[in-house]
Amino acid sequence: MTTAATKNVERKPATAVSVAPGSAATERSGGPGAPVASRALRPTSREVDAFAPVTGREEEWRYTPLARLGGLLDGVAADGSAEVTVSEREGVTTSRVPMSDPLVGSVLTPADRLSAVAMASSADALVVRIAAEAVVAEPVEIDVRTSAGTSYGHLVLDVGAHARATVVLDHTGGGVRGSNTEIRVGDGARVTVVDVHEQDRDAVHAEAQAASVGRDAVLRHVVVTLGGDLIRITPTVTYAGPGGDAELAGLFLTGAGQHHEHQLFVDHEPPQCRSRVLYKGALQGVGAHAVWVGDVRIGARAEGTDTYELNRNLVLTDGARADSVPNLEIETGEVTGAGHASATGRFDDEQLFYCMARGIPETAARRLVVRGFFADVLSRVDDEPLRDRLLARVDDLLEAPTPADAA
Amino acid sequence: MSTLEIKDLQVAVEDKEILRGISLTVKAGETHAIMGPNGSGKSTLAYAVAGHPKYTVTGGSVTLDGEDVLSMSVDERARAGVFLAMQYPVEVPGVSVANFLRSAATQIRGEAPKLLPWNRELKAAMAELQMDPAFSGRSVNEGFSGGEKKRHEILQLELLKPKIAILDETDSGLDVDALKVVSEGVNRVRAGGETGTLLITHYTRILRYIEPDFVHVLVDGKVVEEGGPELAQVLEDGGYERFRPAAATS
């Protein structure tokens, strides 16, 4: 017997949690940020002019300091460059294709003006293809090193059916970068993508990422954001068939004056798919600002969906601010699980006391506690040398004096 | 042989005076029980000696073998040989017990213990406290039962071998079996003769397993009576009633 599909639309109000200088952690809910329409209704287009000029009042732009985007929203002409190298691995081929190639735009259609600018301004696209059924033992390393000036880029990561691989996207260098990344995960494939941002302290990087997860495929996606002046990443996941599994993890360590923004959208349309989102951030120093927006939509046909998203932020010093906005839209009553949680708190001085009472000096104790906080995200990076490198970098940044310490 | 000397110690919490002049000398090999009703200042004494920032010392002195403990940071006190087993040990998510213990041992001993002997030492100490070996892979205190937390505290006591061990209500929340196991751990450390023990407790129960050399009764921030182990028996029979100031009973 079939019954008419129930339409059960639940829109949880947005919550933002922030710690203003000198105040304790506070929580507020509702507010002007509550979405008024389904995330799925946002327009998508390759045409820049399909998007109205950005004012900063738009839901997707209201947290971003537009003046610090280096003109990316205005389509400033490219006058810089990026050196991109891809490690040679058996089963992996690299090519450059024109933007008119049908592969370009097959997964990602820009959902905001900046992404459309980057697509219109890219000269060509880099395609990294992992052959069907290939098992690539060593990580595929894609290094993107940007110069001063403005550059645009487009990457298509095409993972064939039943392939196994880990891909590391390593971003370094300076300048202003607008880019789009498309990830196609073929049916039955298992791929881990680690996206590392260690740009220079004055760099600007705005990137839209879209992944399509094939039938019974698994995508593990880890974003590590440490560098830059302003970094804004917008990962989107759709499913090409039932049985897909997407785990999106993120780690950000936001220092004095830095803006780190991650806006995610997981769109469950086919049935029996799973998603997990786990983003953790630590903030230190005056003017450190982190934004996490996690949108999950469960469409009317997406029965058997299992989703959970979590964002936790740890505020280490005064003067840092974390905005955390989880949104869940449910259009079917037949879900296996759907939930979200978000919490922002100050560094716990009792943890510090406990470690110090065992002889561990304050700096080492803080490092131990923050490492512990990040442990479940970093455990997703299964490439051990890379994990060790990221841990060492986190340690360095934690020990670097911040203006707040000096004050 | 180490000596902790507390002289006329006065401590306030948020401008409220809690300890009003405590004097106490603890020598290596001795066990002193500090007993008293709720709110008498027992835990304040423990945390003030360990250096918790919430407690402000307003007068008096604390020295360990002549060194000024009060001028040391919390970690310096621990490295000097002061150990506090906490009543409510703190969770440190994502940090494994093994990692935490080795980090602490490295600091207290002045160098990282060699891995193989350390693993043997840890395994043996955990077995004595009847702890599952899988315990070392769990996050510090996260999801621990009350008994597991106290065993973990005493495990640290045994591994770090302090000069002065302050045990803050280690008996609270333990069933009889766990109390015996934990007490045996404390007694192993005491038997070494190198550690002076300050046993803070509300109840006389733990004193059946850990026999004190001296008992001090603390009421309203002052020591009101001192004696040998026989004083504990007096408290067991009569409670704290006779020590209460008349004004406070109304």
pLDDT at residue A403, as a whole number? 45
In whole angstroms, what is the distance from residue B250 CA to residue B245 CA?
10
Of B220 and A34, the structure prediction assigns the larger pLDDT to B220
DSSP state of A362: H
pLDDT at B135: 94
Q: Note which residues in 185-244 of chain B have CB less than 8 A from chain A.
A: none
- Which tokens hold the place of A373? 């906080």
Nearest-CA distance A359 → chain B (Å):
4
From residue B156, how far is each of B112, B125, B151 by CA, in Å?
Answer: 16, 9, 9
Q: How many CA atoms lie within 13 A of B2 on its CB side?
A: 21
* Biggest CA pair distance of chain B: 61
Secondary structure (3-state) at B220: coil
Q: Say if residues A34 and A59 touch (Cβ distance below 8 Å).
A: no
Structure token pair of residue A375: 């442990």
Residue ranges, chain B, pLDDT below 50: 247-250
Predicted local distance difference test score (pLDDT) of residue A24: 32
The whole-number average pLDDT for the span A256-266 is 98
Q: What are phi and psi of B207, to 5 degrees?
A: -75, -10
First to last CA, chain B: 46
Tokens of A148: 């001063």
Question: Other C-beta atoms within 10 Å of A273: how many?
Answer: 29
Under an 8 A CB cutoff, do B74 and A353 touch?
Answer: yes
Q: Cβ contacts of residue A16 below 8 Å, gap of 6+?
A: A28, A31, A33, A323, A324, A325
Mean pLDDT across the stretch A365-383?
Answer: 93
Helix, strand, coil content of chain B in percent (nearest 5): 40, 30, 30
Identity of the residue numbered B59: G
3-state SS assignment for residue A400: coil
CA of B86 to nearest chain A CA: how many angstroms apart? 9
Mean pLDDT of A18-35: 37
Ramachandran class of B94: left when φ > 0, alpha when ψ lies in -120 to 50, beta otherwise: left
Residue B248, min C-alpha distance to chain A (Å):
32
Record the tokens describing residue A214, joined without a space: 């094939």
pLDDT of amino acid B250: 40
Mean pLDDT on A138-162: 97
DSSP secondary structure letter of residue B41: S
- Bridge partners of A262, per DSSP, are A233, A292
CA of B56 to nearest chain A CA: how many angstroms apart? 15
Judged against a pLDDT cut of 80, whether residue A94 lies above it is answered with yes
Are A175 and A202 spatial neighbours (Cβ–Cβ below 8 Å)? no
The answer to whether the CB of A40 falls within 8 A of the CB of A297 is yes
Size of interface A-B (CB pairs under 8 A): 79
pLDDT band at A86 (very low <50, low <70, confident <90, very high): very high
- By C-alpha distance, the chain A residue nearest B89 is A354
Res. A338: pLDDT tops 60 = yes
Which amino acid is located at A261 in the chain? Answer: E
Domain positions in chain A: 10-347
Give me the pLDDT at residue A147, please. Answer: 94
Tokens of A1: 């017997």
- pLDDT average, residue stretch A357-386: 93
CA A35 – CA A17 distance, rounded (Å): 17
Verify whether the Cβ–Cβ distance B90 to A368 is below 8 Å: no
pLDDT, average across residues A347-373: 94
Roughly what angle, to the nearest 10 degrees, separates helices A384-399 and A362-378?
Answer: 140
Nearest to A360 among B90, B94, B103 (CB): B103
B192 contact partners, CB below 8 Å, separation of at least 6: B161
The DSSP code sequence of A37-105 is S-GGGS---S-GGGSPPP-S-STTTTTS-GGGSTTGGGTPPP---EEEEE---TTEEEEEEETTSTTTT
Using N-to-C axis directions, what is the helix angle for B97-109 and A349-356, rounded to 10°? 50
Q: Rounded distance, CA A205 to CA A176, Å?
A: 6
Using the beta-carbon criterion (under 8 Å), do B73 and A362 form an inter-chain contact? yes
Instruction: Mark yes or no for CB contact B90/A354 under 8 Å.
Output: yes
Cβ proximity of B163 and B82 under 8 Å: yes
Which domains can be identified in chain B, with CATH numbers? 3-89+162-172+187-249 (3.40.50.300), 93-143 (no CATH)
Q: Kindly list the residues from chain A whose CB atom is less than 8 angstroms away from the CB atom of residue B104.
A: 355, 358-360
Q: Are A260 and A292 in contact (CB under 8 A)?
A: no
Outline where DSSP puts E strands in chain B: 3-13, 16-27, 31-35, 55-64, 67-68, 82-85, 92-96, 139-140, 164-168, 196-201, 214-219, 222-227
Residue A404 has pLDDT above 60, yes or no: no
Distance from the B41 Cα atom to the nearest Cα atom in chain A, whole angstroms: 20
Judge whether B75 is closer than 8 Å to chain A, CB to CB: yes
Q: Are A150 and A72 in contact (CB under 8 A)?
A: yes
pLDDT at A112: 95
Question: Which of the four pLDDT bands, split at 50, 70 and 90, describes residue A37?
Answer: low
Residue for token pair 């110690």: B9
Q: Is the pLDDT of residue A35 over 80?
A: no
Nearest residue to A256 via CA among A222, A282, A223: A282
Contacts (Cβ under 8 Å, ≥6 apart) of A370: A282, A314, A316, A394, A398
- Give the pLDDT score at A318: 93
Q: What is the pLDDT of residue B246?
A: 52
Percent of chain A past pLDDT 90, that is, above it, reads: 85
Round to whole Å and give the CA distance between A211 and B99: 37
Q: What is the average per-residue pLDDT within A76-104?
A: 96
User: Which amino acid does the sequence have at A336?
Assistant: T
Q: How far is CA A276 from the centre of its chain?
A: 13
Q: Which helix (H) or strand (E) holds A143?
A: strand A140-146
Give the per-residue pLDDT at A5: 34
- Between CA A69 and CA A404 the distance in angstroms is 25
Beta bridge partners of A252: A225, A281
Residue whose C-alpha is closest to residue A246's, from A210, A275, A214, A271: A275
Chain A residues whose CB is inside 8 A of the B90 CB are: 348, 350-351, 353-354
CB contact under 8 A, A353 and B104: no
Comparing C-alpha atoms, which of A248, A171, A255, A239 is closest to residue A206? Answer: A171
For residue A292, what are the β-bridge partners?
A262, A324
Report the chain B residue with the minimal C-alpha distance to residue A361.
B75
Angle at CA A221, nearest 5°, toward A295 and A283? 70
Contact A358 B52 (CB under 8 A): no
DSSP A123: S
d(Cα B40, Cα B223) in Å, to the nearest integer? 9
